[in-house]
Homo-oligomer: A and B are copies of this chain.
């Protein structure tokens, strides 16, 4: 039998600033035969996420950098091709972390069988019902300690996390949900599809000015996906005992030198406010309640989501680079 081959994306060198194609290599490799206790999956959906930019750099962080010359990793859904593990049968879908490749050999503990809820496509478990949705849920409800009646501002609001944050805030009784995004089309979607009360295009005018119009009485919660001007504007608009949950700072990820931070941190004293960073990995205990609350809302269409697909493993790098540019609406997913 001819050996099975598959392609995988490897990091060749650490990007400086915006990653370029020469930083990566799409290698064709022989797929190993699974040992006893392992299973072979063919990936059908591969996730690309902003946090991966951090892993391409060799700086101390919460997660090890990608190794040079090694295949990159990330969330994925594979279909079992061959298995020697009880409970994983050919045809089963498996959620796992060996993305960025066509085929993966998993130890039994590296994957969980995915049985999508009726009416919910499998890809959604990489997005609004996956780590992405849990990120929104944990960051808003636990880190930002959202309370009904809060005025909420979300940046990167047309992205997979941001659009979910805004909707959870609305469902849980926010008195105002404001989102920012980077195009008129995204702004329209925020208002018309995701139910934001107000939305603005941060490229059109200073964030602080637009936020002052959208939230004239300030904000109790700011969910930060962006950093930079957005964080400064949110600090300026922060209400008494306001809370800022820092999920990401995508505006900074490709910086080659540090950019100055907000000049108005003393607002934290005036407001007795708080800025707190979080990682979804610290909040996996919320997953059961998250799925119990949000699963039915996704199935019923109350909690909406968008997916931006690219096709074929060769498109994964473009998908990732597009994500950093903000080309996506909702979750960016590579479909194999």
Contact = CB atoms under 8 A, between A and B. Distances in A.
A249 B270 CA distance: 12
A259 B263 contact: yes
Given A260-B263, A268-B246, A276 B278 contact: no
Given A268-B276, A278-B269, A261 B262 contact: yes
B275 A275 contact: yes
Interface of A: 60-62, 227, 231, 246-249, 252, 258-279, 282
B258 A261 contact: no
Contact of A275 (B227, B248, B265, B270): B265
B271 A274 contact: no
24 contacts: A62-B270, A62-B272, A227-B266, A231-B265, A247-B269, A248-B269, A252-B266, A260-B260, A260-B261, A261-B262, A261-B263, A261-B264, A268-B276, A268-B277, A269-B277, A269-B279, A272-B276, A272-B277, A272-B279, A272-B282, A273-B276, A273-B277, A275-B275, A276-B276
By DSSP majority rule, is chain A's interface helix, strand, loop, or mixed? loop
A60 to B, nearest CB: 7
A3 B290 CA distance: 73
Contacts of A262: 261, 265
Contacts of A275: 265, 268, 274-276
Given A249-B266, A268-B275, 17 more contacts: A62-B271, A246-B265, A246-B268, A247-B269, A258-B263, A259-B263, A260-B260, A261-B265, A267-B277, A269-B278, A269-B279, A271-B277, A272-B278, A272-B282, A273-B277, A274-B274, A274-B275
A270 B63 CA distance: 9
Contacts of A264: 258, 261
A277 B282 contact: no
Contacts of A61: 270
A265 B277 CA distance: 9
Contacts of A273: 276-277
Chain B CB within 10 Å, residue with most, of A249, A275, A282: A275
